Structure 1
Amino acid sequence: MYKEVSLDPNCLSHYHYYGLLKTAFGFEAGRYVVAPLKDWLSEAYQAAKASEHIEPVKKKSITNFLNKLRQDKAQDKIIMPCYRSHISADSWLNWLEYQRAVRPFNSVISERVENALSFEDIIAGDHSWTTPPTVRVKKTAETIVEALSSLLRWGGNLVIIDQYFSLAANPVLKEIFRFLQAHQHTVNITLATSVNTANPEAVFKREYGASFSFIPKFHLIVVPSKFFHDRYIFTEFGAIKSGQGFDVGPELGAQADKLSFHLCSKEESQEAAVWLKQIIDDGRALSLALN
């Protein structure tokens, strides 16, 4: 559900792209600019400063904003996923060429790259740009994990809060581990569930530890039933919410055959994390490190 966008820093020589950068990217937007932050900001700053299309007052707005991005360690407009971070280049154009060989971007925005999106394409709602707030997903392990794949690919700390998401005999959890074998950037996985698995250490070792070579640190938290109403999967980069959860299910020829995944606000995901910590601290939840 989250998209990787390569935005040409030279676009900042036009004021409308400044508005795009400021409002259309981030945790809650469902897309990020992917770039080496300092290099990209330097090129964008020079493009804005040298622009003949922007009046001085508006230039100042752009350069001030770019300076704030440089200084703000918590900025969430521009990211550099670990799997792309080994590549450097002397210009954005060369960097783009190298990165496309690693993995294509969901979209490239540029006025000077062939077949890239322009501002007019974005306004027109090009499908490679749009991020629908809700995605309907078949109840198979493969399609569920595919919908989560950007967050899993980017890595970090993965939190799953779903009272019915079992540690044992869970095809979605197995598919997550299978995906992570090729994308080894997840540091920790925390599963908060109300399903109380007997001997969870043995279950984890048998079903996952024995099957996969790459296993992040894994914490199981058994929470009170019905403590969390919605179900969440989130990392530092984004959050997805599903009222129906993240489990597989048979096709019954009904509207409920598909799950609905929604982009979740940063505030709500942080609130869920705070509640999770609180019930661990006050003894209402059992927390176990399984590896």
Structure 2
Amino acid sequence: MKKTILSILVLILLFSCGKSDKIISETDIQNQELLSQTESSSDLNNTTLKKLIFKNLDDIQYSEELNLPLLSKVASNLKIRYSSIKIDETSSINYDDKTVFFILAIVERNKKSHKASDYEDLGSYFQRKYLFVNREDGNIVAEEFDNNLSYYDNEAIRFSKSHILKDLVYLNESTPAIAFYTEASASSRIVLYSEKKFTLLTLADNEIKKVLYQYPIRMTNGDSNGGNTYQIETLETGLSFGDHKTNGFFDLIVTKNFSYEEAFESDSENNLAEETNLKIKKESEKLKFNGKEYAFHRDDRHRFLE
């Protein structure tokens, strides 16, 4: 009798183990789908690599580092006036124990524009500059203007402060990268447009390398009557590194969440009540490093808007 009970218990245990393995396997498959928040350990230096960059934009933490005395030295080394730097739109982060990275916002007032006619005043001119500098003396290690983020104050499209993510991300076990995004938006109540563009860059041989440049991580397109009637399509993404590498860097996994919202305000004259419709669609994409950059084809197709 005891042998029979023991045999039954062994069978139950084996069955449970098999069922557990099946559950774990299914979970692993789901996690491979998109943006697992797990971390994997590197065999090379036994450090923990965080694979998740961000799951959604609301979860992002930003770098709050801004060494003003060092920034003053940087301005002197660049031979620009400290007052020309927009402090509230300048960001920085420590890259390593010797180097600091700055995204410098520089304003140039009374600059003539080839875009403007004699009767048109486009206002002050804003430029964005990337800098790696020595942490001790502010000497320039590498520098580069981003002309795609330059604009005049009165232009229709403007750019926000470039937000640097709090933590460096690792493209492989030994290569750190700085992650940041900048938002472009239209100053209009009728045209609903904005776009957050994400960049990854590194320092290699004292040169700035943009391994991912201005990938759209949030886009909104639509129109409005200036009130409560509008239609708008929004793309929001998440980013994480996969386990597989291409040309030495981890593949990037992108989750895409498209949403469409249509709203009509109430109209008492025509006896119409306020109405809102919402549609959602999910997609994913994998970006591979081609030896120079994470190449991607910009996709401006609307999923809902006609």
TM over 0.5, yes or no? Answer: no
Q: Which has the higher contact order (CA 8 A, sep 6+)?
A: 1
Please report the TM-score for the alignment, with normalisation by the length of structure 1.
Answer: 0.26
Judging by fraction of residues, say which structure has more helix: 1
TM-score, normalised on structure 2?
A: 0.25
Whichever of the two has the greater Rg, that structure is: 2
